[in-house]
Amino acid sequence: MGKFQLLIVVMMCMVLSGCWNQTELNEVSITSATGYDRANGKWEVTLQTIVPSAMAVGTNGGPGGSGSAVHVFSTKEKTIQQALNKSNLENSRMLYFAHNNVIVIGREAAEEGINEIIDLYLRTTESRESVYVLLTSTKASDVLKDLIPPESLPGVALAHILQKEGDMSGYLPPIKMYELAKKITSDARSAGIPEITVTGDGGKSLESLDVFKKTSSSEKLKLSRLGVFHGDRLIGWMNWQESFGISWMSDKIKMSSISFSCPGPKSNNNYSSFKIKSAKTKVTPIKKGNEFTMQLKVKAGGILTESSCLGDFSDPKYTREMEVEIEKQILNFINIGWKAVQRLQADLPGFAGYVHRKYPKDWNEMKETWEENELGEIKLDVHVKAMIQHPGFFSKVFNSEGK
Amino acid sequence: MSIFRRSKKTDKQMKTITNERELGPSEDDEAALSSSLSDTISILRSRIGLSSDFIIRELGDKIAISYIEGLVDQKQLSELIEALIAGHAQFSSFTHDPAEHLKSIIPIGGIHAANTVGLLLTAILSGEAVVVIDGLPGAITVSISGGIRRSVQEPSSQTVVRGPKEGFTEEISTNIALLRNKLRTPELRIVNRTIGRYTQTKVAVIYIEGLANPEVLDELFIRLDSIDTDSVLESGYIEEFIQDKTFSPFPTMINTERPDAIAGNLLEGQVAVMVDGTPFVLVLPVTFFKFFQSSEDYYQRYDITSFLRIIRLFSFFIALFLPSIYIAVTTFQQEMLPTTLLISLAAQREGTPLPALLEALLMEITFEVIREAGVRMPRVIGPAISIVGALVLGQAAVQAGLVSGAMVIVVSFTAIASFVMPNFNMASAVRLIRFGLMLLAGVFGLFGILAGAVPILVHVVSLSSFGVPYFTPFAPLRFSNLKDTVIRVPWRAMKTRPSSISVQNKVRQSTFNKRNKESEGE
């Protein structure tokens, strides 16, 4: 067969078989967030889909559409996939999950177990396991209906809130689907998922575009607590201080801020704040007899951003005293976190992994009873080293003579 | 052993061509001229016919002068006639070489004797005057060619900001002079061939002895001598005859109308083929990366040049792939886009009636039509097309909801990127391949683009230009040649010529030292 004939055959193959999985952009319904609720033994899947025409930029500049940028609807069925499939009854477009930013799990679903959700995300190709996971103490469908001013896409906004919060504060560290799957199947079997709540008087003001016309809304979507999972089930909650302590223990802090009282007598309410630029935690399990001690070496470096202390910051002795105060604060958070760990019997810092790696034989004996017995008996040996790298532009408190 | 492969097929083709030789216009060109004036005149009359510009002027009954009006210089012609009339008496008396005698009495160079009808005709048709003397065998040709020709102007197709502003003209002797002015070396060789049975076009092969690869030269002469065609009106004819591979969109020869570019190329050991009647001179052998080099690259600072070359390569990829990547990503691999970009693209595609592939094809074809119209139409109507083009391609199409705004951006950026390449040949190749890639992308997505790009790469790597692999110095990799490809190193570091092209005399300059002169003096 000549080259020319071969070319024709190839061209014919192209024409005959081509375009089989082609989807034009105006035929897909891009989901920005998905919610999973459980009711009466059925999955209720809520989809927050983007309405592109509302996002179109008009010729005069600025958002052109007047309608809402997202459309939310829910479907109910025995399995998640079937529920999604049932959405074809009401949705004109093909669901498209690659740009799903965040999934929200309702409380009932979380208490019954989330293995099915994780299975779905890991099994199929179109849904990404790098999606952020959120928990809500109410129904996920309620959260997804709410807008987050000034963002037009709440799903994207939620992902941004999580990402920024994790990078800048570390109070409630965000978790992605694959991290969640890894954590609940690890030795520690525990994971923490940030909770999103609607604060306020329980009205529905966030569900309307009118919220963009106001300067302040009585309701707000907000990260509030950390939901603690053991296995695939929700077992309890932690407040942000406890969660922050866990973040210190598990080396999750990237940047954060800590306020501390001034060295010396504690009578006055003089506080300063320390902006952490770098933090590192090193965990070493040490076995003494039958007891385990976790040695935590925490290092934090940063700058002084605010102060009302009367000392001289150019004096190394004084800054050292301030550093000690910072160290106390960090230690305090760690202790609060550790108490929460013991209260919930959930190994959020992942100490089980360290023990397993260093003492594999001992681990084999106690892995069944780790949370109930051994975890509670572990002693913490925390060494915090904080360092003020520079005190800012001046070395004394502003207007120190005037005080 | 030759580095060139020639298939049996081409040998066969050449044989058929030789068999067709009889079909040409020449009949008895080899016939010798008689010594009779009237015989010679009647032969000329019968061969050239009753063309009104063909003039035979008899000076008395012994001497005739014949020329074509318009091809000869009037001033020199009158000088010649004056000299002939004054020396009339002597002509009848002498018997030895009349050409030598004529040389001594007229102040014009280029006087030769012609013995056959063929030589005589060629001389007349290329603007020489022919002097026929009764009683002497043969005739004398006097080169007084002149007439209207274009002066040396700035090249219109390859402009530079910095660099010489002169360009080649249609006159081959002027062009060679321009080149001689730049290369004042006795090693500059100019070998002439005449190709084209009807056009009798002068083709000059120009190279520098000792730099050009003799194997390339031999092969070039073999290929040039194999050409037997009726006409050569432009160097494009020659290019298509002598190129290594016919079925390839990629050019294996560069054409330029800049003498400085040719001079630079000759100094790298390349060979130039100049064709009379066109300002475009061919350069061979070339590599792929030569098409991204402008002569200005060597006049500007090396860092700026390197940056510009990277920009050109980038534009090459943009011009080749951008529309197809846009099609693939928006119809198959949407997950590759950032969310916000995807949403803004989706918003623009709301309500557009055509699928992305058709939309892209429509816009690309519209652009090609407008571009072609811009080249072909009379200059006076120029502004009209740009207005219509801008309106049709841009605003109106988007406002009417026929195409999305992003597609207009993609198509216009592609169009502009394809004009960045200094050599128009390569830009045309890219345009052609782009459509194929767009179809593949519309059918198979990114996989289709890859399925198109890999064979293209294979093809490019397999090409060769007169024995030099097309993709050198990258495939085969030659480190020393990389200094003048994607980047250009400073002149002081360009110590050797590209080894893929120049096989002898590789050293270009000695190690540069600011105190070279002083140390010599010590």
Q: Tens digits of per-residue pLDDT, A213-226?
A: 888 888 888 999 99
d(CA A275, CA A256): 6
| CB A296, CB A380: distance < 8 Å | yes
Residue, of B2 and B49, whose pLDDT is higher: B49
| B56 and B125 assigned to the same domain | yes
- Distance, in angstroms, between A100 CA and closest chain B CA? 9
**Percentage above 70 pLDDT, chain A:** 94
Please choose, from the candidates B432, B451, B206, B449, the residue with its C-alpha nearest in 3D space to the C-alpha of residue B333: B449
Q: Please say whether the beta carbons of B149 and B170 come within 8 A.
A: yes
B216 and B265 both lie in a single domain: yes
Query: Range with the lowest mean pLDDT among A164-168, B3-7, B203-207, B472-476?
Result: B3-7
**Whether B339 and A99 lie within 8 Å, measured CB to CB:** yes
Q: Residue B201 in contact with residue B194, Cβ under 8 Å?
A: yes
Q: Does residue B440 sit at the A interface (CB-CB below 8 Å)?
A: yes
Which tokens go with B222? 């073999």
Cβ B343–A52 below 8 Å, yes or no? yes
For A13, name the nearest residue in chain B, comparing CA atoms only: B443
Residue from B333, B339, B435, B447 whose CB has the most chain A CBs within 10 Å, to mutate? B339
Number of domains in chain B: 3
Q: Do A25 and B334 touch (CB under 8 A)?
A: yes
pLDDT of residue A267: 58
B447 reaches A (C-beta below 8 A): no
> What is d(CA A126, CA B372) in angstroms, rounded to the nearest whole number?
44
| Best of A10, A14, A26 to mutate (most B CBs within 10 Å, chain B) | A26
Q: Which residue of B has its CA nearest to A65?
A: B347
A249-267 pLDDT, tens digit per residue, is: 999 999 999 999 888 776 5
Please state whether beta strands A102-105 and A28-39 pair in parallel, antiparallel, or not at all (unpaired).
parallel
Predicted pLDDT of residue B178 = 92
Q: Kindly identify which residue of chain B lies nearest to residue A30, measuring between CA atoms.
A: B343
Q: Do B351 and A99 touch (CB under 8 A)?
A: no
Question: Is the separation of the CB atoms in A348 and A260 below 8 Å?
Answer: no
- Please answer yes or no on whether B351 and A23 come within 8 Å at the CB atom: no
Task: Report the residue from B335, B342, B350 with minimal CB separation from A53.
Answer: B350
Q: Given A18, A55, A96, which is nearest B444 (Cβ)?
A: A18
If you measure CA to CA, which chain B residue comes closest to A52?
B347
Same domain, B446 and B327: yes
* Farthest-apart Cα atoms in chain A, separation: 98
The confidence score (pLDDT) of residue B8 equals 46
Backbone angles phi, psi at B115, to 5 degrees: -105, -20
Query: Which residue is it, tokens 């090396």?
Result: B302
Per-residue confidence band for A181, with pLDDT thresholds at 50, 70 and 90 = very high
Domain that holds residue B232: 172-286
CA atoms within 13 A on the CB side of B307: 5
**Distance between CA B339 and CA A253 in Å, rounded?**
27
pLDDT band of B517, cuts 50, 70, 90: low
Residue A132 to residue A20: CA distance in whole angstroms = 31
Where in the sequence of chain A do the CATH 3.30.300.210 domains occur? 245-390
Residues of chain B with C-beta less than 8 angstroms from the C-beta of A96: 334
Alpha carbon distance B193, B199 (integer Å): 13
Contact A105, A120 (CB under 8 A): no
- A contact test, residue of B330, B350, B403, B459 with most A CBs within 10 A: B350
Between residues 89 and 128 of chain A, which touch chain B (CB distance below 8 Å)?
96, 98-99, 101, 126, 128
Per CATH, the homologous superfamily of domain A245-390 is Nutrient germinant receptor protein C, domain 3 (3.30.300.210)
Report the 10 Å Cβ neighbour count for B441.
30
* Burial classification of residue B477, based on how many CB atoms lie within 10 Å of its CB (0-12 exposed, 13-18 middle, 19 or more buried): exposed
pLDDT cut 70: percent of chain B above it: 90
Q: How confident is the model at residue B148 (pLDDT cuts 50, 70, 90)?
A: confident
Question: Could you report the per-residue pLDDT of B54-94, keeping only the tens digit for each?
Answer: 888 888 777 888 888 888 888 888 888 888 787 765 665 55
In chain A, residues with a C-beta closer than 8 Å to the C-beta of B349 are: 24-26, 52
For B232, the token pair is: 């050569």
- How would residue B98 be classed by pLDDT, with cut points 50, 70 and 90? low
Q: Summarize the confidence of residues A198-224 as an average pLDDT.
A: 84
Answer yes or no: do B367 and B261 share one domain. Answer: no
- Whether B334 and B459 map to the same domain: the answer is yes
User: Which of B330, B346, B440 lies nearest to residue A30, judging by beta carbons?
Assistant: B346
Among A135-149, A245-259, A354-368, B25-39, the minimum mean pLDDT is found in B25-39
Partner B contacted by A28 (CB < 8 A): yes
d(CA A197, CA A216): 17
Most B CBs within 10 Å, among A11, A17, A22, A48, to test the B interface: A22
B489 has a pLDDT exceeding 60: yes
Residues A101-135: tens digit of each pLDDT:
899 999 999 999 999 999 999 998 888 889 999 99
Query: Tokens 């009302």, residue?
Result: A308
Contacts of A56 in chain B (CB under 8 A): 347-348, 350
**Residues B209, B215, B216, B222: is their CA dihedral positive or negative?**
positive
E-strand stretches of A78-126: 94-96, 102-105
Across residues A263-292, what is the average pLDDT?
A: 85
Quote the DSSP letter at residue A214.
S
What is the per-residue pLDDT for B16? Answer: 47
Cβ-proximal residues to A216 (8 Å cutoff; 6+ apart), any chain: none
Q: Is B352 in contact with A26 (Cβ distance < 8 A)?
A: yes
On whether both B404 and B316 belong to a single domain, the answer is yes
Tell me whether residues A25 and B443 touch, CB distance under 8 A.
no
pLDDT range class, residue B131, cuts 50, 70, 90: confident
Set of chain B residues whose Cβ sits within 8 Å of the Cβ of A53? 347, 350-351
| Interface residue of A12, A24, A60 to substitute, partner B, most B CBs within 10 Å | A24
- Give the three-class secondary structure for A190: strand
Structural domain ending residue among the three candidates B469, B484, B516? B469
Could you tell me if B121 and B265 lie in one domain? no
Beta-ladder partners of B113: B140
The torsion angles phi and psi of A361, rounded to 5 degrees, stand at -70, -45
Task: Tell me what the mean pLDDT of segment A381-393 comes to.
Answer: 90
Q: How confident is the model at residue A20, as a pLDDT?
A: 66
Alpha-carbon gap: B322 to the closest alpha carbon of chain A (Å): 18
**How many C-beta atoms surround the C-beta of residue A143 within 10 A?**
27
pLDDT of residue B405: 86
Mean pLDDT for A337-341 is 93
Regarding whether B319 and B256 lie in a shared domain, the answer is no
* Burial status of residue B72 (CB atoms within 10 A of its CB: 0-12, 13-18, 19 or more): buried
pLDDT on residue B22: 45
User: Are B122 and B263 members of one domain?
Assistant: no
pLDDT of residue A61: 38
User: What are the Cα distances from residue A282, in Å, to A171, A243, A285, A300?
Assistant: 19, 18, 10, 12
How far, in Å, CA of A29 to CA of A95, rounded? Answer: 5
Same domain membership, residue B460 and residue B380: yes
Other Cβ atoms within 10 Å of B356 Cβ, number: 29
Query: Which chain B residues are Cβ-neighbours of A24 within 8 angstroms?
Result: 330-331, 349, 355-356
State whether B312 and B448 are in the same domain: yes
B261-309 pLDDT, tens digit each: 999 999 999 999 999 989 999 998 999 999 999 889 999 999 999 999 9
A4 sits in which H/E element: helix A3-17
Does the structure show a pLDDT above 60 at B23? Answer: no
Sheet holding A271-288, edge to edge: A256-261, A271-288, A291-307, A379-390
More confident residue, B31 or B38: B38
**Which amino acid is it at A315?**
D
Of the candidate ranges A7-11, B97-101, B499-503, the one whose mean pLDDT is the lowest: B97-101
CA distance A88 to A75: 10
B35 in contact with chain A, both atoms CB, cutoff 8 A: no
- Residue B151 placed within a domain: no
Lowest-pLDDT choice from A364-368, B294-298, B356-360, B468-472: A364-368
Give a three-class secondary structure readout of B381-415.
HHHHHHHHHHHHHHHHHHHCCCCCHHHHHHHHHHH
Rounded to 5 degrees, φ, ψ at B383 are -60, -35
Q: How confident is the model at residue B518 (pLDDT cuts 50, 70, 90)?
A: low
Q: Does B343 touch chain A (CB under 8 A)?
A: yes
Residues B310 and B354 placed together within one structural domain of the fold: yes
Domain boundary among B286, B314, B348: B286
